[in-house]
Amino acid sequence: MSVNLRQEEVQLESKKRLIALQRAKELRSRIDGYLKNKANIPSGFEVQEAYQQAKHKLLQVLQATEDQWHDWHWQMANRISDVTVISQLLNLDAAELQAVQRVGRQYRWAVSPYYMALAMAGGINGPVWRQAVPSIEEVQDRSGLEDPMGEEFTSPAPAVTRRYPDRLIINVTNQCAMYCRHCQRRRNIGELDLHKPRKILEAALQYVRENKEIRDVLITGGDALLLSDKQLDWLLSQLDQIPHVEIKRIGTRTPVTLPQRITPELCAVLEKYPPIYINTQFNHPLEVTPEAKKACDMLIKAGVVLGNQAVLLKDINNDPDVMKRLNHKLLQIRVRPYYIFHAKAVKGTRHFITGVNDGINIMEQLRGYTSGLAVPTYIINAPNGYGKTPVLPQYIVENHNTHVTLRTWEKRIIPYNVKCKQ
């Protein structure tokens, strides 16, 4: 009797195992396409040879040393914003150079040598190049607004942007290490690098002090980490002394465009004022390089928590496999994907703008297919400063409160009864 029972148990177990094996095979097949395509989407780690070549070419043209390359002040002082330098670096035809020059007169451009080397490694008109080097399409764009977010009407105090109940932005500079061609704040860039004067920052701090519901202050720009260590030290210490400011955040693209900025001295400043959250903007796996990793490692050692705000950009990352690889590479360097922003119709950036379905499709192909940690929130910024609005694929196809119909990540339609007290 007991022997028979035992046999039945064994048979049942192996039947369960067979079903699980079958399911595992099916699950593996869900990412067949991605696994095949992955090799076509190199990260910055996989283009090191080309990067090193480009770097040496740049050092030659700029007559500089390896030590200077690692000095962020040198990187800033030698930002490329002149077509004659580009013509020494690469064989571009005259028409292309002329286009860069012409657009550059209307919209400022400047690229750190580091990011230019990466752009060269990723190829002319590749995903890094297109973020950095002016394109004729910028001046052909007659649509779009200068300020679609209506930021001009959401500034209750100097240098402050407030669109939410408990948090706000202090805008500290218009300077960047690289002027993104897709910049949403191009109207602020102008031709001159301007850090906000101390008096303006004092007024912004006073607003924070007087409004006790502000528990989260985001220092951004421009690029907040282009302030000097001393200025940052002062600003962070001021915020640290305001009892109701629970967290401080910094917006910067330097881990991507100028990782040399992350120095031991800067980290010593950041370490003094926890908790600090830094959000950066990696848009493509090519930007995840050994230098970027080192910068992130240093920030993490200083106790900073890192997140990423990618911008959805046509022909750069509006592809589920590219976004998946990007988010995987980010998790490897301990940067948590936070947002994917839908690019707004800012004048001069129309060639980067995609349909909302591209974003929804990306979200659809992340959730379930990969770690929840690799799934950011897709955001459309509502016009007139009415705020970030999350956009999701539809996972509830019917909702009757006590019974709903779910649509799972694999598109299975499943009724679900909620056992709640009515």
Ligand X SMILES: *Cc1c(COP(=O)(O)O)cnc(C)c1O
Binding-site annotation: residue ranges: 176, 180, 183
The residue number whose beta carbon is nearest to ligand X equals 163
Is the Cβ of residue 163 or residue 324 nearer to ligand X in the bound state? 163
Give the strand order in the sheet containing 305-312: 160-161, 167-171, 216-220, 247-251, 276-280, 305-312, 336-342, 377-382, 387-390
Number of residues that bind ligand X (CB under 6 A): 8
By the rule CB under 6 A, 169 interacts with ligand X: yes
CB 368 → ligand X: shortest distance, Å?
24
Is the Cβ of residue 135 or residue 161 nearer to ligand X in the bound state? 161
Query: Closest by alpha carbon to 173, among 192, 157, 154, 155?
Result: 192
CB 150 → ligand X: shortest distance, Å?
11
Is the Cβ of residue 62 or residue 214 nearer to ligand X in the bound state? 214
Is the Cβ of residue 218 or residue 226 nearer to ligand X in the bound state? 218
Is the Cβ of residue 161 or residue 317 nearer to ligand X in the bound state? 161
CB 380 → ligand X: shortest distance, Å?
12
Give the strand order in the sheet containing 396-399: 396-399, 403-407, 413-417
Binding to ligand X in span 13-52, by CB under 6 A: none
Binding to ligand X in span 129-168, by CB under 6 A: 161, 163-164, 167-168
Is the Cβ of residue 161 or residue 349 nearer to ligand X in the bound state? 161
Which two three-digit tokens encode residue 348? 């001069």
CB 76 → ligand X: shortest distance, Å?
26
| C-beta atoms surrounding 358 within 10 Å | 19
Report the binding-site residues for [4Fe-4S] cluster.
176, 180, 183
Binding to ligand X in span 347-406, by CB under 6 A: 388
CB 238 → ligand X: shortest distance, Å?
19
| C-beta atoms surrounding 17 within 10 Å | 10
Which two three-digit tokens encode residue 245? 């400011």
Is the Cβ of residue 149 or residue 299 nearer to ligand X in the bound state? 149
Is the Cβ of residue 169 or residue 304 nearer to ligand X in the bound state? 169
Is the Cβ of residue 168 or residue 227 nearer to ligand X in the bound state? 168
By the rule CB under 6 A, 70 interacts with ligand X: no
By the rule CB under 6 A, 218 interacts with ligand X: yes
CB 208 → ligand X: shortest distance, Å?
12
CB 180 → ligand X: shortest distance, Å?
17
CB 204 → ligand X: shortest distance, Å?
13
Binding to ligand X in span 403-422, by CB under 6 A: none
CB 146 → ligand X: shortest distance, Å?
17
Query: Closest by alpha carbon to 359, among 381, 386, 392, 389?
Result: 392
Binding interface with ligand X (CB under 6 A)? 161, 163-164, 167-169, 218, 388
